[in-house]
Amino acid sequence: MPGFRSLPAVNELANELEAPHALAVRAARATIEERRHELREGATDDPDLIGRARERVARATRPSLRRVLNATGVIVHTNLGRAPLAAAARDAVSRAAQGYSTLEWDADTGSRGSRHDHVEALLTEVTGAEAALAVNNCAAAVLLAAAALAGPGHEIVVSRGQLVEIGGGFRIPDVVAQAGATLKEVGTTNRTRRADYAGALSERTGAILRAHPSNFRQLGFVQEVEIEELCELGVPVIDDVGSGNLAEDLQVLADEPPVRRSVKAGAALVCFSGDQLLGGPQAGLMVGTQTAVAAAKQHPLARALRLDKLSLAALEATLRLYRNQGRDLIPSLQMLTLDDAMLQARAEKLAHNLGEVVESTAKVGGGALPLLELPGPVVAIPGDAEALAARLRANDPPIVGRIQDGRLLLDPRTLADDEIELVRAALG
């Protein structure tokens, strides 16, 4: 019967592992200690300790942040990193990561430059704004906007219907409080009128904040004030439009507020996301008037919330696609607008000898377009759905589908063409 005396020495087990010595010793020691615990608990089996130790080495050397194949049908999947980057953006990140860069250096003059310059001109060109600034996410953009235009001693006027919570506990009242301003609520949960805003304005008013309820919609007896009317009230307006709709000509995005509309209306600052419908990296984008953007740039929070060089590289490349009519190369927009024939062909290719093509619906995700459903074919894989899902998660790279009505469904909408074969191989 195997027992404590049968356990190998740490170095003996470590020598069986093809790994750096320190890593091999740690894996061997942990494996042996685990076996000792099992023996104390009365275990009588004869396990493969070398195999266990090798698995520990593999887990230790495998990156925690790694590629995933998204077969859920959720296009902007928050847990899976939101929008996948276009090839041009991926290439830009690679170039910026290879060594030093012109992050804050002007090659023409040889003097110090500004990191903001890499995307400001592009942002103003594609939105029509006077000035622009990029920070590390949309929540940061709203916080910085509130702090820069209002701050201590001032009030920010918000409709009660827009005191929303989105994401992992991001609440508009908390943002206003962190900015140091006083929240002034107007209207009711379902109806707010222009007169409500007008009656709340005073010498203490720093700004009006309009917050787009990204992840829900109110239906029925509702009323809100349009951005054009808010901008006529004579105080700065911060417009948080959420997902970043720069493709307002696409019918599928008709329910998302266009950035250009808010800029044209005269909003002081328009805040939106870089990694949702825009299809770029995680970023919070602010566009608006020269005066308002300058105030945001000069605020102490701007440094704490600034964007890093890799995200700036990806954002610049993504914005260039919008400017140069290359928008159709952005993966998230491709997925939103895939035609039926392409989806059917992908589904049939994925399903061949593996499953059945059935009809289902995909979602946009990421808090965008919560009511929009995208009908299309998916592949139902026969067998124990939970066991199949676990098997696919253990694949390298992991594959994530969705379980519905007791079946594992794989949605080709969110799989690139070259990923179809990888999924097939994992199920083969």
Question: Given this model, what pLDDT does residue 167 score?
Answer: 63
What is the average per-residue pLDDT within 258-265? 96
4 DSSP assignment? G
The burial of 333, by beta-carbon neighbours within 10 Å (0-12 exposed, 13-18 middle, 19 or more buried), is given as buried
Rounded CA-CA distance 121/125 in Å is: 6
DSSP string covering 41-54, please? TT------HHHHHH
* pLDDT of residue 169 exceeding 70: no
User: Does residue 380 sit in helix, strand or coil?
Assistant: strand
Place of tokens 């289902």: 360
Question: Given this model, what pLDDT does residue 67 score?
Answer: 95
Question: Given this model, what pLDDT does residue 168 score?
Answer: 63
Q: Which residues are 208's β-sheet partners?
A: 157, 237
> Helices marked H in 41-152 — which ranges?
49-61, 87-97, 117-127, 138-149
Place of tokens 């615990």: 37
Share of the chain above pLDDT 70, in %: 96
Give the least confident one: 62-76, 160-174, 271-285, 300-314.
Answer: 160-174
At residue 259 the predicted structure's pLDDT band, cuts being 50, 70 and 90, is: very high
Q: Which of 316, 313, 305 is nearest to 138 (CA)?
A: 305
What is the average per-residue pLDDT within 402-407? 94
What is the average per-residue pLDDT within 221-233? 90
Q: Is the peptide bond before 331 cis (omega within 30 degrees of 0)?
A: no
What is the average per-residue pLDDT within 359-375? 82
At residue 229 the predicted structure's pLDDT band, cuts being 50, 70 and 90, is: very high
Q: Which of 172-176, 249-253, 314-318 holds the top average pLDDT?
A: 314-318
CATH code of 69-79+333-427, in short, is 3.90.1150.180
Q: Which of 196-205, 241-250, 357-366 holds the top average pLDDT?
A: 196-205
Q: Are 260 and 127 in contact (CB under 8 A)?
A: yes
What is the average per-residue pLDDT within 401-426? 95
* pLDDT of residue 1 exceeding 60: no
Question: Given this model, what pLDDT does residue 172 score?
Answer: 84
Q: Are 380 and 329 in contact (CB under 8 A)?
A: no
The burial of 29, by beta-carbon neighbours within 10 Å (0-12 exposed, 13-18 middle, 19 or more buried), is given as middle
Report the predicted TM-score, pTM, of the whole model to 2 decimal places: 0.90
* Mean pLDDT across the chain: 92
Question: Given this model, what pLDDT does residue 111 score?
Answer: 95
What is the average per-residue pLDDT within 103-113? 94
108 DSSP assignment? T
Instruction: Give the CATH class of 87-327.
Output: alpha beta
Count the helix, strand and coil residues of the chain and give each as a percent rounded to the nearest 5.
45, 20, 40
φ and ψ of 188, to 5 deg: -125, 180
Q: Which residues are 82's β-sheet partners?
A: 77
Question: Given this model, what pLDDT does residue 165 score?
Answer: 77
Question: Given this model, what pLDDT does residue 163 score?
Answer: 84
Question: Given this model, what pLDDT does residue 79 score?
Answer: 92
* pLDDT of residue 96 exceeding 70: yes
Question: Given this model, what pLDDT does residue 206 score?
Answer: 96
Domain range annotation of the chain: 4-61, 69-79+333-427, 87-327
Question: Given this model, what pLDDT does residue 143 score?
Answer: 93
* pLDDT of residue 335 exceeding 60: yes
Q: Which helix (H) or strand (E) holds 381?
A: strand 374-381
At residue 254 the predicted structure's pLDDT band, cuts being 50, 70 and 90, is: confident
At residue 4 the predicted structure's pLDDT band, cuts being 50, 70 and 90, is: confident
Question: Given this model, what pLDDT does residue 237 score?
Answer: 97
Question: Given this model, what pLDDT does residue 364 score?
Answer: 86
What is the average per-residue pLDDT within 330-348? 94
* pLDDT of residue 95 exceeding 60: yes
